[in-house]
Structure 1
Amino acid sequence: MAFQPWQGGQPAQPASQSPMMRASHAERERAVDVLKAGFAEGRLSQNEYEQRITRAYQAQTYGEIQVLVADLPQGPIGQAQFAPRPMVPPTFLPAPRTNGSATGALVCGILGTMVGVTAIPAVILGHKARGEIRRTGEQGDGMAVAGLVLGYLVIGFLALMVAVVVLAVGASS
């Protein structure tokens, strides 16, 4: 499916798209984005850019929008234009990678409930893991959060116990 170049009024649309179909607000905004990019790249003069933007916001049908963007490299192109990609069974896809710091945070958080001293590494590893996950897109954010929560709970409980002991010793003196 090829688009016809813009020729001052000839509608250009994919064969599967009716030029009389009503245009949506999203399609108008996409066309405006394409026009902005075309102007920024030097493909449209200031006058032509302004005229097309005005016409894009006034467009009522898909055909009117296509006339405005058909000669630009990007346009509202439907997915039907692209050949469907064969589906790969999930068995053959690589398994998503879990962040190692997230696993460490969870383990340290669980151990912290029994030992106590691993609560601080749980918090450190949890914050480190969340930063890495945001940056790399790895799996394991839930484990990192669980490690953080457990670590902070244990630290809070230990701080409360220390405060109770200090107050008890101070009151008995």
Structure 2
Amino acid sequence: MLASHADRERAVDVLRAGFSEGRLQQAELEKRIARAYEARTVGELGLLVADLPQGPVPMQSAVAAAPVPRTFLPAPTLPPPNNGKAVGALVCGILTTMTAGLTGIPAVVLGHTARSEIRRTGEGGDGFALAGLILGWLSIAGWTLFLIFVIAAASMST
């Protein structure tokens, strides 16, 4: 059904009421009002106010069941990117088993640096940094114990 001027004005009134209640932001209100004045059918007007408490006119069941257009949905939020140093800490921590512990110190340094940056910037990867820290410290502790035993054995034999 074609929309009349009165239908458009009712839709604009609903949009303004939604704005005054804090349901719409200024930019979205202006965009929807412009679309309301350009709308040719009652169905188009119904879509403009479908997510607000009132509609411009009683809508048909097919229009009421239509999903809200993507234009008016909030943008999907993506998880923050992982911190590169956190990934490096994890890789160095894992490589301690293959490098006989040589990458333990870089894992600890990168892990602490990454966790500091993550707290400051809000990036992801805190788990990676923590895993790298744990593996690095285990490697350092293992080498420290090994050296203590070697020194103790050397001093006992003399």
> Which bin holds the TM-score, normalised by the shorter protein?
0.5 to 0.7
Q: Distance in 2 between matches of 1:141 and 1:82?
A: 35
Cα offset, 1:167, TM superposition? 0.5
Does the 8 Å CA contact 2:90/2:129 hold for their aligned counterparts?
yes
Map of 1:77 onto structure 2:
none
**Cα RMSD, aligned residues only:** 2.0
Map of 1:100 onto structure 2:
84
Do residues 81 (structure 1) and 22 (structure 2) align?
A: yes
Q: Distance in 2 between matches of 1:110 and 1:97?
A: 21
Aligned amino acid, residue 115 of structure 2: R
Map of 1:143 onto structure 2:
128
Cα offset, 1:161, TM superposition? 0.3
Cα offset, 1:94, TM superposition? 5.0
Q: What's the secondary structure of 1:160's corresponding residue?
A: helix
Q: 1:114 aligns with which of 51, 76, 98?
A: 98
Cα offset, 1:112, TM superposition? 1.1
Q: Distance in 1 between matches of 2:22 and 2:116?
A: 39
Unaligned runs of 5+ in 1: 1-14, 16-79
Q: Distance in 2 between matches of 1:165 and 1:126?
A: 29
Q: Distance in 2 between matches of 1:139 and 1:147?
A: 14
Map of 1:131 onto structure 2:
116
Unaligned runs of 5+ in 2: 1-16, 25-50, 52-71
**Between structures 1 and 2, the one with greater helix share:** 2
Percent of paired sites with the same residue:
53
Does the 8 Å CA contact 1:133/1:140 hold for their aligned counterparts?
yes
Cα offset, 1:98, TM superposition? 0.7
Do residues 169 (structure 1) and 154 (structure 2) align?
A: yes
Aligned amino acid, residue 137 of structure 2: Y
Aligned length: 92
Does the 8 Å CA contact 1:102/1:126 hold for their aligned counterparts?
yes
TM-score in terms of structure 1 length: 0.49
Q: Distance in 2 between matches of 1:149 and 1:108?
A: 11
